[in-house]
Amino acid sequence: FTVAVHSPTPMFARQRIRRHSISTTRLAAPAPSVSTAKIESAKGFDKTLAGAYKTIGSLYLRAGAGKGKPELVVMPNNTTVRNYGYYTLVDGTKWLYVQTTIKGVTYTGFCSSNTKYLAKQ
Instruction: Using the predicted structure, report yes or no on whether residue 118 has a pLDDT greater than 60.
Output: yes
Give 24 or 46, the one with higher predicted confidence. Answer: 46
What DSSP character marks residue 112? E
Of 93 and 33, the structure prediction assigns the larger pLDDT to 93
pLDDT class of 87 with cuts at 50, 70, 90: very high
The pTM for the full model equals: 0.71
For residue 74, the cross-strand partners are 60
- Of the listed ranges 4-8, 44-48, 89-93, 107-111, the least confidently predicted one is 4-8
pLDDT band at 40 (very low <50, low <70, confident <90, very high): very high
Conformation bin of residue 78: beta by default, left when phi > 0, alpha when psi is -120 to 50: left
State mean pLDDT over 74-101. Answer: 98
Helix and strand numbers (H, E) in the chain are 0, 10
Q: How confident is the model at residue 22 (pLDDT cuts 50, 70, 90)?
A: very low
Please, are residues 69 and 83 in contact by the beta-carbon 8 Å criterion? no
